[in-house]
Amino acid sequence: AIPLVIAISTEQAARAGVLIKNRMALERMRTIDVVLFDKTGTLTTGEPDLKDIAAVGGRDTDRLLALAAAVESDSEHPVARAIVRAARQRNLTVPDAAGFSSLTGRGVRATVDGRTVHVGGPALLRELGAVEPEPLARSTRAWMDRGAAVLHVIDGNSVLGAVSLEDAVRPESRQAVAALQNRGIKVAMITGDARQVARAVAEELHIDEVFAQVLPADKDKKVAELQGRGLKVAMVGDGVNDSPALARAEVGIAIGAGTDVAMESAGVVLAGNDPRAVLSMVDLSRASYRKMW
Ligand code: ADP
Ligand code: MG
């Protein structure tokens, strides 16, 4: 039989939008030292919008955007949707693309007019050995310092240009982070995004520790790294690439609007997208523990 106190808190949790799949997760929540949040889609809305476009050598920015949209047209990633949406809003004619492939955590590739074109973030740029010419590098640095995500459009290994995307921090995130810290819990953030993008969000939210440019396959290693320091970890994420990290953490918390895979790996699923629900879990866990004695 389930102890009465646990049954009550599971029900209270559900009312706070916290669906407990594994009741040990709720019990363990009171012992957590650090909450590790995935950035995109968890602390931010995850729905970026296109802000800037810059093309190399005075090329036409509309043509660059149309090319990027062609390469991204088969991708489901929020950054891809933002690029395709921006091209549509500007009534651009998007060329046909073939041979689409997705490079997990880095970007996408497709063939357009017989050329192999990549669109992706900093990891992709490094992987292709592509170098940004000036003055493009100056522009993209300024965008990143502002906290925007930068995606490059690369033909072979030459950079054609770049776009910036901004993903707004959820208004509730600030409160969630501050309240967890008030309860003596450290708050960390993990992302595949560039260091500067991560730093801008972390500074806005006063986050204690940041892991940036983490490849999907390495997210769970960062959980292990924290555990190796003797810390008990609650991991909050939404994506397929967060699943191993959710499974590795003492408490895995999936954001409800996230993927099915993430939800399967988690002990807890949040009904909505409000990071403050993590706080409700801590409070419920601490309260029920006290009631048992
Ligand atoms: P995150 O949850 O931080 O977005 P992802 O693994 O989904 O982690 O993506 C990591 C990075 O890979 C993104 O920040 C972006 O730079 C790049 N990326 C992923 N998918 C795409 C895509 N469809 N187009 C361009 N870049 C992408
Ligand atoms: Mg994500």
The domain that contains 234 carries what CATH number? 3.40.50.1000
Same domain, 38 and 79: no
What pLDDT is stored for residue 4 in this prediction?
Answer: 63
Give the C-alpha separation, 52 to 46, whole Å: 18
Residue 191 CB: number of other CB atoms within 10 A?
24
Tell me which ligand sits closest to the C-alpha of residue 78: 1
Does the pLDDT of residue 37 top 70, yes or no? yes
75: nearest Cα among 44, 112, 48, 101 = 101
CA dihedral 33, 39, 43, 45 (to 10 degrees): -160
Q: What is the pLDDT of residue 17?
A: 86
**Are 31 and 75 members of one domain?**
no
Query: Does 109 lie in the same domain as 10?
Result: no
User: CB-hemisphere CA count at 13 Å for 6?
Assistant: 13
Whether 3 has a pLDDT exceeding 80, the answer reads no
Give dist(CA 202, CA 184) in Å, integer. 18
Residues 148, 207: one domain?
no
- Model ipTM over 0.90: yes
Last residue of a domain, one of 132, 166, 200: 166
Question: Which tens digits make up the pLDDT trace of 200-248?
Answer: 999 999 999 999 999 988 999 999 999 999 999 999 998 778 889 999 9
Domain extent, residue 159, equals: 49-166
pLDDT of residue 196: 85
CA–CA gap between residue 89 and residue 97 (Å, rounded): 20
Question: How much is the pLDDT for 115?
Answer: 96
Largest pairwise CA distance in the chain: 71
Looking at residue 70, what is its pLDDT? 98
CA of 130 to the centre of ligand 1 (A): 18
- Name the domain boundary from 109, 144, 166: 166
Report the separation in Å between the CA atom of 7 and the middle of ligand 1, taken as the mean of its atom positions. Answer: 40
Q: Do 13 and 153 lie in a common domain?
A: no
Which residues lie with the beta carbon below 6 Å from any ligand 1 atom? 38-40, 72, 75, 77, 79-80, 105-108, 119-121, 149, 151, 191-193, 216, 239, 241
Last residue of a domain, one of 131, 166, 201: 166
Query: Would you tell me how many other CB atoms lie within 10 Å of the CB of residue 1?
Result: 5
How far is residue 110's CA from residue 129's CA, in Å, rounded to a whole number? 18
**Long-range contacts made by residues 7-13, C-beta under 8 angstroms, separation at least 24?**
8/288, 9/284, 9/285, 9/287, 9/288, 12/284, 13/280, 13/281, 13/284
Residues with CB under 5 A from ligand 2 (ion): 40-41, 239
What is the number of structural domains in the chain? 2
Terminal alpha carbon distance of the chain:
19
As a whole number, mean pLDDT of residues 51-79 equals 96
Tokens of 87: 């091209």
pLDDT at residue 202 in the model: 95
Amino acid 292: pLDDT: 57
Judge if 106 and 241 occupy the same domain.
Answer: no
Yes or no: say if 18 and 270 are a contact pair by the CB < 8 Å rule. yes
Residues 277 and 246 placed together within one structural domain of the fold? yes
Structure confidence at residue 74 (pLDDT): 94
CB of 72 within 8 A of CB of 188? no
Give the chain's mean pLDDT: 91
Q: Which of 4-8, 83-87, 89-93, 107-111 has the lowest mean pLDDT?
A: 4-8
pLDDT at 124 over 60: yes
pLDDT digits (tens, 9 = 90+) for 181-200: 999 999 999 999 888 889 99
Token readout for 16 is 């706070």
Nearest atom (ligand 1) to Cα of 38? 2
CATH number of the domain residue 54 falls in: 3.40.1110.10
38 among known catalytic residues: yes
